[in-house]
Structures are given as structure tokens and as C-alpha cells.
Amino acid sequence: MEIVETAPAKVNFYLHVGPVRRDGLHELASLFVFADFGDAVSAQPADDLSLDIVGPFAGALRAEKNDDNLVMLAARALAEAAGAGPGAPHGARLTLTKRLPVAAGIGGGSADAAAALKALARLWRLNISRGALADIAFRLGADVPACLDAAPVYVTGAGEAISRGPTLPPLWLCLVNPRVPTPTGAVFRAFDAAAPRPPAPALARPAAASVTAFRAMMAASRNDLEPHAIARQAIVSDVVEFLRARPGALAARMSGSGATCFGAFASEEAAHRSARCARANGWWAAAAPLLVGGR
């Protein structure tokens, strides 16, 4: 038996960053959405836990120990939560198919961890509540709980407070990464230095499920980390401007702490054309529809 869970790319339509909390994490207000493209995690029965990493971006992870990969950390955390009683899980042979760039601001590792939790809960036939799974997810990383459901969600707190997102119009996303690093820690430190006492972040909500309302929401929001990523890697600005200028683009912005940027389109053809043009520039790119309620 093989269980397969997808790990779709997570996109921050906006990211408002507030002050640092007592636990060292930042207060956030964001709208997370997911593209119908990403990694995949498969799980098969085995006596021990093991992880194999394959796919176009597997090489970027092979320098790390598998035991430190978020998929393995998720597996061990779930096994520990399940306990050691009769019928408790023993192990699994896990395979991570890595299609998304690593450390790219689109939640690849977080989505992988969430997919591993879901795959193993099914493989091990665990009777675990969604709330308990979300608690384990948050201990793995602030973005992991939101990745358990591939649907738009409002995210506040440091990522642990999740509420149902808006109904959005049918959209296509073009994801573009210029293949440069924008380390999350360094970008957040630059934000802190520039704004030592930021205001409490607020959500931006679209007024209706229409393209007009979506564009208004984007105009009224921002990614607070974008200027600090651009200060480290000016090419991020080039990518955003490239996407903003593409025919049919409704909005363009950096996602997360970068360096991946997205363009939102109403047209499948426009999104795919933009991805082809981005690849011609030597950038990584993918076009995919917005997931509105899971796969």
C-alpha cells in the first residue's frame, strides 16, 4: 500500500509583519493561497523510518542529513504523539518528490511537512483530530498548520491562528524564482532594523469574489518583507516588474521572504506565456491554477 499526498506551493497574496512576540516570533497577518503545483510525499509500510528525496530540486537537499528534513521531523513527531501502545506505528518508507525550489518563499518545506503528517496519519490509520494534527504542525514551523488544507486561509498570530479565507475568483498563478537566495532570517532582521516598533498587522479582505475586488485587495495590501529582500537581491524587483508588465496580469508581488514572486492572471494562456518568457530569462517558473478548496 502506498499513500501519496501533494504538497502544493504556498503563496502569500500579502504579508503584513508586526512586532516580535515574547516567543521570538513575529505577529503576522496574511492571506495564504495554494497553487495546483508542488512537491509530493509518498509513504509505504516499513519496519523503520526512512526518507528518499527525488525530483528536480532533490540535489539542493542532499547536502543536508535526511534526519533534519522536515518530512522526517514530521514523521517522528507524529509517531511520538501516537504513543507506543498496541498497534502503534513502527515506521514508513517515505519518498519526497521535490519539484519546488528550496528556501524560496513558497512554503516548500512547510507543505512537505504537512503532506507527511497527512500521509502517515492515513498509513498508520491514526484516530487523531484535526486540532491535534495542527498542534503538531505548529511545533514543526509557523507555516505548517496552514498547509494542512490546500485552500485560501487568513493567517494571524505567528501562523497558528488560521481562519477560513475568502471566496476568490478563478485565477491562474505564474510563479517565478530568479535562482538567488534571500535567507528568511536575514530578511526578517533587516525588517526589524528598519521598523523596530511596527504597528499590529491587519488583514485585508476582498469585498466580493470578483476580479475587481481582488485587485482592490491587492492594492490595499503589501508584502512588508519585499523591500528588504530586494535590498539583498535587486533581481527580485526585476521579477516583480516583469510579472506586473505581462499582458493580462492582475497583480504581482514577492511571496513570503522570497525570492519567488507571483503574478496573478484571469487567463490560463497568459499565465503559461508568462512562465515560458520567464524561463527564457533563465529563471525557474511554473504556471498553475489557484486551488480554491483543496485538490
Are residues 92 and 45 in contact, defined by beta-carbon separation less than 8 angstroms?
yes
The amino acid at residue 293 is: G
- CA distances 245 to 18, 238, 250, Å, are 30, 11, 10
Are residues 179 and 281 in contact, defined by beta-carbon separation less than 8 angstroms?
no
Residues 6+ apart with CB under 8 A from 125: none
Q: Which of 10, 98, 118, 149 is catalytic?
A: 10
Q: Which residue has the cell 512586532?
A: 19
Instruction: Report the alpha-carbon distance of residue 58 to residue 71 in Å, rounded.
Output: 13
Q: Which of 78, 110, 86, 136 is nearest to 12 (CA)?
A: 110
Residues 6+ apart with CB under 8 A from 172: 264, 265, 266, 267, 268, 270, 271, 287, 288, 289, 290
Instruction: Report the alpha-carbon distance of residue 162 to residue 265 in Å, rounded.
Output: 26
Beta bridge partners of 286: 175
Q: How many residues does the chain have?
A: 295
Q: Which three cell numbers stand for residue 16?
A: 503584513
Q: Which three cell numbers stand for residue 20?
A: 516580535
Q: Is 48 tagged catalytic?
A: no
Q: Which three cell numbers stand for residue 185?
A: 532570517
Instruction: Report the alpha-carbon distance of residue 39 to residue 45 in Å, rounded.
Output: 21
Instruction: Report the alpha-carbon distance of residue 267 to residue 171 in Å, rounded.
Output: 7
Kindly report whether the peptide bond that precedes residue 259 is cis, defined as omega within 30 degrees of 0: yes
Are residues 174 and 262 in contact, defined by beta-carbon separation less than 8 angstroms?
yes
Q: Which of 36, 39, 112, 143 is catalytic?
A: 143
Q: Is 135 tagged catalytic?
A: no
Catalytic positions, please? 10, 143
